[in-house]
A and B are shown apart, each in its own frame.
Chain A
């Protein structure tokens, strides 16, 4: 007993277990500080979004009409916005499907196989995420206009300054996000399921179709939604690579920018609000499907 009482390690352990008033207050203060910063940032985001909606509802400075009414009642503006919306929806749908087609096999290979140069490939795939979008657009332009292989492809596909170019630019960026999202979904499926399926007579393709794919379904769906949202929001590479021709290659973000640059603030803000609504619904869907938020 004596040995226990004089043991310094045990003595400090007993001291540590004793709650002190100042310790508890420090913990509360720390938690309060963190939460305040969190709430402040969330509040800032909401305030910025609210500003768009509120501004649109204010009386127009020039015409005296309310901004939202002006936008809704002008046939030219409505045509421009609706065309851009349709173009955005169609191109982002196509590019996200193309991205999924590439991403699912790529992500599966990254997740399951011991590939040569694995870490190099892994890094290369992340490049479109970290390269500034404008730079990606310029690089695409150089590739399809100046490089031998790119020129051949361009002759065949005709993508530069065309609506197809929108899909190419969206695909180039969104695929990287898509691979990350689908890999997260596939990583969550225990490879043992496939091993057991193989031992029960399944070939690798059937094990993938009947076991891995159904089990990764929700994660893949969430990944697709986020890829689509990313493609929908792409701006700079489309502007550089596909051009910014109203009613032809101007997708929603490009339309917002074009209108802002010539002073049609109401139209620009209307498009902004429309895009915020689309993004919010997408995010809600993504969360509902249990998508991995940490990827973005």
Chain B
């Protein structure tokens, strides 16, 4: 296994620019590139695969500079979104294609195809035509075909875009399992945050041709670097600040919001120089009914303005008296017990340790 290093890759394709992407993906890592449609995710992996040649920048596989190499010289596995199984070949011939190109003896090809079929549980469909396979089967065959030539790096372009939600959960687990057993570094593209949370060791978030944040799942989830990342990862409480935070004697900071409200933050990292936004995940905000005995310290009085069903969660929207809107995700069971109704007076609790600050100068992605 080798690591993959991308240094300042830039490519212009008509109106679109992929702008100075630099990134290191460790050997054996499962790395997800997350971003909306048109962010440049596919362009980036096509550069890695050698299908597009960057105008500037270099790509290293281990110590080898692969930038000048053609796709066939790179030996990087590539599974496109539609899997692109060769329709004029059986599943067996599809999987063995790369091995035949390498002129391996037939015996060796048969052995390797058999091993991969076993790894991916596709032995019964080896003689079938790709046209008659289900989405899940196609994906497994495409993975087997890419893994057959033992690439050090495997690129998966939106591998779960065409499957339903239930199948997606199962396939996420399968992908991790296959990656571990095949011992391959995986770069997986997705526009679905939940999907990347389920598979990735680390996530790189892209927007408008830029890599806006790279970090662990935890970092992307709770410490978005820009307004865009916060929005894309559904941190629904993105609150503009009205002035500088005030440091309190206990180490916490008081944040004046542009509506006039104030919230507390207990940042675990040093404060950014010019914080502009406070971000709180909706899972962190708690809403409790008011019992008419004033507002306890640390809580903010508010009125429930909207209740939306989200499966086993309820999305509650509440507006403070000063006009700040907060979103909270509560377990449906808890919310039903509390008997929330639109118009109810409630208390908001915004845990200071869950408040994350985004500096203004970095806020360019959104």
Contacts and interface: CB of A to CB of B under 8 A. Distances in A.
A19 to B, nearest CB: 34
Interface in A83-110: none
B149 A195 contact: no
B186 interface: no
A210 to B, nearest CB: 8
Contacts of B49: 195, 199
Contacts of B148: 200
A2 B148 CA distance: 65
Contact of A200 (B46, B50, B51, B98): B98
A192 B157 CA distance: 12
Nearest to A195: B51
Contacts of A203: 70, 72
Given A198-B51, A201-B149, A190 B82 contact: yes
Interface in B58-89: 70-72, 74-80, 82, 84, 86-88
Interface in B68-124: 70-72, 74-80, 82, 84, 86-88, 97-98, 101-102
For chain A, the bracket of interface size reads: 10 to 19
Interface string A205-218: 01000010011000
A200 B49 CA distance: 11
Contacts of A30: none
Contact of B86 (A195, A199, A211): A211
A50 interface: no
A193 interface: yes
Interface in B182-206: none
A275 interface: no
Interface string B122-146: 0000000000000000000000011
A196 interface: yes
Contacts of A196: 78-80, 84, 86, 145
A197 interface: yes
A195 B88 contact: no
A202 interface: yes
B11 to A, nearest CB: 13
A198 B80 CA distance: 13
A200 B101 contact: yes
Contacts of A190: 82, 84
A200 B84 contact: no
B86 A201 contact: no
A190 B88 CA distance: 13
B78 A195 contact: yes
B51 A193 contact: no
A215 B88 contact: yes
A206 B72 CA distance: 11
B241 to A, nearest CB: 37
A198 B86 contact: no
Interface string A179-205: 000000000001011011111111100
A198 B72 contact: yes
Given A200-B149, A201-B149, A214 B88 contact: yes
Nearest to A200: B98
Contact of A192 (B77, B80, B149): B80
Contacts of B76: 199
Nearest to B157: A192
Given A200-B97, A200-B145, A202-B72, A195 B84 contact: yes
Interface in A57-78: none
A202 to B, nearest CB: 5
A199 B82 contact: no
Given A193-B84, A215-B88, A198 B98 contact: no
B277 to A, nearest CB: 35
A195 B98 CA distance: 13
18 contacts: A192-B84, A193-B86, A195-B51, A195-B80, A195-B84, A196-B86, A197-B97, A197-B101, A199-B72, A199-B76, A199-B77, A199-B78, A200-B98, A200-B145, A200-B148, A200-B149, A201-B75, A202-B101
Given A193-B84, A196-B84, 17 more contacts: A190-B82, A190-B84, A192-B82, A196-B78, A196-B79, A196-B86, A196-B145, A198-B70, A198-B71, A198-B72, A199-B72, A199-B146, A200-B101, A201-B149, A202-B101, A214-B88, A215-B88
Nearest first, the 3 A-B pairs at minimum CB distance are A200-B98, A199-B78, A198-B71
